[in-house]
Amino acid sequence: MIDFHKFFLNPLDDKGISLTEELTYAAAQINVMTADNPGGALDARIAATTTATGALEGGATDEGVKLALQKARTLSKKNFRDTLTPKIAQVHAAVVSAFGPDSPEVMECFPEGRTVYSNCRDEQLNQKLEGLVTAITPKQAQVGAPAVTLATALKNNWAALFGSQGTAKAQTDASGVALDAARATLKLELFRNLLTLALMFPGDIAKCDLYCPQHLLRNPQHANTPGDATLNAGAYNAGTQHLTLSMHSAGATTFDLGRRTVGEPDFTIIATDLAASTGGNATYQDTIAPGDYEYRAVPKKNGVAGNESDIVTVNAA
């Protein structure tokens, strides 16, 4: 006899799954849904899961939980920004195709060009995307509904990612009851993700493995994983053309440091396995000609890479 009961039970309710595992799973799933979101069908799921993950911040007192939350936010934000450039290019191409490359309409929709979306700070991106949606929406008849839908989805997804961070940071430690409620909400959203994905891809086990990394629910964080990295740049010395960069990651033994000029798509590794102190600190002196640069550090602990740092922009003048 077929047992339909199991389809109504949330597998995330398994008491053997730790809170840290749930958060790590949620972060990975948000990443995949953001990167592989056919037609924006998963927009609502991305937003709901991101909000539920962020809501746990208020009740997080255990350091492991806080680390998982930090990784969840960092992964989601990084993945969004990594996939933003080609999506902006799609919207731009639709406007150019409809009105021509030098048209006033292109200037209205992209007054600062396309690279501003990848180069601006996190707190500026929401404004840039809102401006794009405001400009392109009245032109839907010419540019086509898919371009407007994509621009709107980008704005909404980033607002959810960035907004949940702000809400979480404003919260204070919650009671155990509130923490349990927030955890239950996340479990429910993850279950809804599972059901939504099953409806979208019935019988496609490969899609299940892609969107639902089950191994993370039975695999505690690797003991060798270093903490999230921070990166800071000192003042640029125009005389010597030297720039000192400081990195930190709890538990890191080495760092990889990447650099690119502003506008370039990829980082070039300029220092590999840069030795860290016992406190997880390292410095590097780079020699660069005047210009605008971006840096990113990746921490490692005994060869196992952790989450990379936020991108640091330097104006060398």
DSSP 215-243: GGGG-PPPTTPPPPPEEEE---BTTTTEE
pLDDT tens-digit map of 117-134: 988 887 789 899 999 999
Q: Tell me if the pTM is above 0.85.
A: no
Residues 61 and 195 in one domain: yes
- Which of 165, 185, 218 is where one domain is finished? 218
Task: Point out the least confidently predicted range of 155-164, 174-183, 280-289.
Answer: 174-183
Label residue 82 exposed, middle or buried (CB < 10 Å: 0-12, 13-18, 19+): middle
pLDDT tens-digit map of 196-234: 999 999 999 989 988 998 877 864 444 557 888 899 999
- The alpha carbons of the chain give a radius of gyration, in whole angstroms, of 22
Residues 167 and 276 in one domain: no
Rounded-to-integer distance, Cα 239 and Cα 297, Å: 26
Residues 237 and 89 in one domain: no
Number of domains present in the structure of the chain: 2
Instruction: Provide the pLDDT for residue 169.
Output: 42
What are the helix (H) ranges across 110-236?
116-119, 122-136, 140-143, 145-170, 176-200, 205-211
Residues 209 and 307 in one domain: no
Rounded-to-integer distance, Cα 194 and Cα 288, Å: 49
Residues 170 and 312 in one domain: no
Residues 179 and 237 in one domain: no
104 falls within a domain? yes
Residues 205 and 262 in one domain: no
Cα distances from 105 to residues 50, 108, 143, 298, 311, in angstroms, run 34, 5, 10, 41, 32
Residues 180 and 282 in one domain: no
280 falls within a domain? yes
H or E segment to which residue 4 belongs: none
Residues of the domain holding 255: 230-316
- Which of 170, 192, 218 is where one domain is finished? 218
225 falls within a domain? no
On the question of pLDDT at 165 being above 60, the answer is no
